[in-house]
């Protein structure tokens, strides 16, 4: 019945909700992405709790794959990896408050795009290596291309920091033939040329994300020697075309209660579901707090004993109700697959995202960190 238990304060604690992470699938995806372009190294992106999969769980797997970097967004995430004895070099891509660098010597590489952060790193972490983020047209973070020469000069004359990398980020790499994407590639090449003119030849050049790698044939040799892959590493092609990727995650729970309702009776907040016949329903101990999209109310599916069961009524904060009428001998404690790691299933991350009219990222990120994550084969 409840097969995942641990000791908590001297007592057994039964995990009703479990996220399973497949190490073999993650390894497969990494190796597959690495095979697409031999001269491009894959740097796994583990920001936002490794896209909901679990920062430390994923880090311990990819650490054994010898990637050039593990990419995170924040100093907090980098600290968590450091405390977990992750050996791979960590690249912090997001903004850091300069005050946060007033600490012990840190073994991280930093992405920079303003003088304030350059000054802080130079003052408090002078040994650190940096990656310059150049804005190639997306117009989020990044040094404007026309300001890049003066930015480089500032680093060279005011600091002793080693420029380890030049990077940017695609806005539409899922549309590699668009003029916007071509402009970004051209601007990135201009950025590389500016560095060379200033006698700087960084070890790492990177602009590509998941779609950039999957569409690498369109970019020839213009996207550098490293790619930062997030969603594809976890088994999802943003364009939904590549069947070689294998979803890494599944979310499982257990039936907490079974009850009968009669024709005409209603279910859930606002009574949005009315039984058209006598029914057997099941109560699941998880809801949108746990990452079950509220948009799945009255239209999503879960798997019970290999059969699809419809979500009925509104998904609540901690409870989801399902139709068990077609499941013979269902009982309290039976395992329920909420999100399947079979991409073709109705309740896969990709298909539930389509059903909710969102992108797969939005299905993964809300998976609460408090849900137990375990590594399976």
pLDDT digits (tens, 9 = 90+) for 222-251: 899 999 999 999 999 988 889 999 999 999
Question: What is the Cα gyration radius of the chain?
Answer: 24
- The model's pLDDT over 278-323, given as tens digits with 9 standing for 90+, comes to 999 999 999 999 999 999 999 999 999 999 999 999 999 999 999 9
Contact 323, 301 (CB under 8 A): no
Average pLDDT over residues 352-377: 96
Q: Which residue stretches of 36-133 are H helix?
A: 47-51, 55-62, 75-83, 115-124
Across 137-151, average pLDDT = 96
Whole-prediction pTM value?
A: 0.93
269 annotated active-site: yes
- pLDDT by residue (tens digit) across 56-114? 999 999 999 999 999 999 999 999 999 999 999 999 999 999 999 998 999 999 999 99
All domains of the chain, ordered by start, with CATH? Answer: 36-229 (3.20.20.10), 249-376 (2.40.37.10)
Q: Which of 156, 142, 231, 228 is nearest to 187 (CA)?
A: 142
Give, for 200, the enclosing helix (H) or strand (E).
none
120 Cβ contact list (under 8 Å, min separation 6): 96, 98, 99, 101
What pLDDT is recorded for position 38? 86
Backbone dihedral region of 328: left (phi > 0), alpha (psi from -120 to 50 degrees) or beta? beta
Chain-wide mean pLDDT for the chain? Answer: 95
Confidence of residue 263 (pLDDT cuts 50, 70, 90): very high
Catalytic position from the list 30, 32, 218, 269: 269
Q: ∠76-212-359 over CA atoms, to 5°?
A: 65
CA distances, 41 to each of 14, 87, 223, 250, 361 (Å): 41, 17, 11, 28, 23
């Amino acid at each position: 019945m409840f097969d995942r238990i641990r000791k908590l304060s001297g007592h057994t604690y039964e995990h009703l909700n479990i996220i399973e992470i497949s190490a073999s699938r993650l390894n497969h995806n990494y190796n597959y992405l690495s095979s697409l372009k031999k001269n491009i190294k894959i740097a796994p992106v583990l920001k936002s709790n490794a896209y909901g999969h679990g920062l430390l769980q994923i880090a311990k797997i990819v650490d054994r794959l010898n990637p050039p970097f593990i990419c995170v967004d924040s100093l907090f995430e980098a600290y968590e990896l450091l405390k977990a004895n992750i050996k791979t070099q960590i690249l912090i891509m997001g903004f850091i408050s300069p005050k946060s660098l007033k600490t012990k010597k840190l073994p991280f590489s930093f992405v920079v795009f303003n003088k304030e952060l350059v000054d802080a790193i130079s003052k408090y972490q002078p040994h650190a290596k940096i990656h310059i983020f150049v804005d190639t047209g997306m117009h989020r973070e990044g040094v404007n291309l026309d300001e890049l020469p003066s930015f480089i000069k500032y680093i060279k004359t005011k600091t002793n920091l080693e420029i380890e990398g030049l990077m940017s980020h695609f806005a539409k790499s899922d549309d590699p033939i668009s003029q916007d994407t071509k402009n970004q590639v051209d601007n990135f090449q201009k950025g590389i040329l500016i560095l060379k003119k200033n006698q700087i030849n960084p070890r790492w050049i990177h602009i590509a994300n998941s779609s950039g790698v999957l569409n690498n044939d369109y970019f020839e040799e213009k996207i550098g020697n490293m790619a930062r892959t997030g969603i594809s590493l976890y088994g999802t092609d943003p364009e939904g075309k590549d069947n070689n990727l294998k979803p890494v995650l599944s979310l499982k729970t257990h039936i907490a209660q079974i009850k009968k309702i009669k024709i005409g009776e209603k279910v859930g907040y606002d009574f949005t579901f009315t039984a058209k016949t006598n029914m057997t329903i099941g109560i699941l101990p998880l809801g949108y707090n746990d990452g079950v999209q509220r948009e799945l109310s009255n239209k999503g599916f879960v798997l019970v004993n290999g059969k699809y069961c419809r979500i009925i009524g509104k998904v609540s904060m901690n409870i989801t109700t399902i139709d068990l009428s077609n499941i013979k001998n269902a009982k309290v404690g039976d395992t329920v697959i909420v999100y399947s790691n079979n991409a073709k299933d109705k309740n896969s991350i990709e298909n539930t995202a389509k059903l909710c009219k969102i992108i797969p990222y939005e299905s993964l990120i809300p998976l609460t960190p408090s849900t137990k994550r375990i590594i399976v084969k």
